[in-house]
Amino acid sequence: GIQVEQSPPDLILQEGANSTLRCNFSDSVNNLQWFHQNPWGQLINLFYIPSGTKQNGRLSATTVATERYSLLYISSSQTTDSGVYFCAVERSMDSSYKLIFGSGTRLLVRP
Amino acid sequence: EAGVTQFPSHSVIEKGQTVTLRCDPISGHDNLYWYRRVMGKEIKFLLHFVKESKQDESGMPNNRFLAERTGGTYSTLKVQPAELEDSGVYFCASSSQSSGNTIYFGEGSWLTVV
């Protein structure tokens, strides 16, 4: 099956710092989403981004489908950005809208 | 617009008991999914409904798990009998073509089997 690898596995930032999270995937995809799981366990949609670049406030994401990776940028980080960031993909060959999740990047933003 | 809602948010049961989790998808979403994250592992797909039909149930771990979506609206996921390794967070999600195939997740149901 498709492999989804996220890096780094853990990240500690000082408030105000910028960071880049990476997601590599091993096969063609027609869906890629970034999620934030906050400390209360809620899984929040950040981006639907199978290709191209999107921005939403301090967050932006870029997917280069031909090279099979996606990047999530967090600028001017805040303590509320803490939690686990997941990348999830749907393989192009799958008929079902089944997302395959990476193992996540655990982010801690210190005040 | 209401999001995906799940009930209960937390449940603690003894090994061997039965638990039923409920999910109400976003109104009008034909696609409904169940995922789960057991401790220390990735979030894994369980199954996918299109309206009331099971499109893909390849992720269901064993026959102790039963999912239903009668009438194509809300769904239930029953675990009977529960085992210790079933502990984790069970997420429900929904999508539709009109949502651009973006999959929206609920807040999850935390299950602890003791």
CB contact under 8 A, B108 and A41: yes
Instruction: Please identify every stretch of chain A with a pLDDT value under 70, giving residue numbers as ranges.
Output: 93-96
Please count the structural domains in chain A. 1
- From the list B42, B101, B107, the residue facing A42 with the nearest CB is B107
The pLDDT tens digits of the residues spanning B3-54 come to 999 999 999 999 999 999 999 999 999 999 999 999 878 899 999 999 999 9
The answer to whether A97 contacts B110, with C-beta atoms less than 8 Å apart, is no
Please return the burial class of A39, using the count of CB atoms within 10 Å of its CB with bins 0-12, 13-18 and 19+. Answer: exposed
- pLDDT, one tens digit per residue, over B51-103 is 999 999 999 999 999 999 988 899 999 999 999 999 999 999 999 877 667 88
For B45, the token pair is 């797909």
Put simply, the answer to whether B33 touches A97 (Cβ < 8 Å) is yes
- Per DSSP (E only), the strands in B1-114 are 5-7, 10-13, 19-24, 31-38, 44-50, 53-56, 65-68, 75-79, 88-95, 104-105, 109-113
The whole-number pLDDT of residue A30 equals 85
pLDDT at A20: 98
For A68-92, b/e burial (b = at least 16 CB within 10 A) is bbbbbebeebeeebbbbbbbbbbbe
Helices and strands, number each (H, E), in chain A: 0, 11
Do the beta carbons of residue B22 and residue B76 sit within 8 Å? Answer: yes
**Partner residue facing A101 (CB), from B33, B42, B48:** B42
Give the phi and the psi of residue B21 in degrees, each rounded to 5. -105, 145
Taking every pair of Cα atoms in chain B, the longest distance, rounded to a whole number of angstroms, is: 42
Cβ neighbours of residue A109 closer than 8 Å, sequence gap 6 or more: A12, A13, A14, A15, A17, A77, A78, A79, A80, A81, A82
pLDDT for the residue numbered A9:
96
B51: left (phi over 0), alpha (psi -120 to 50) or beta: left
pLDDT of residue A96: 62
Mean pLDDT, chain A, as a whole number? 93
Q: What was the pLDDT predicted at A1? A: 82
Which one of B45, B95, B105 has the shortest CB-CB distance to A43? B105
pLDDT of residue A65: 93
Let me know: does B10 contact A74? Beta carbons within 8 Å: no
| CATH number of the domain to which A18 belongs | 2.60.40.10
Q: What integer pLDDT is reported at residue A41 of this predicted model?
A: 80
Contacts of B29 (CB under 8 A, 6+ apart): B94, B95, B96, B99, B104
Q: Would you list the domain boundaries of chain B?
A: 5-97
CATH topology of domain B5-97: Immunoglobulin-like (2.60.40)
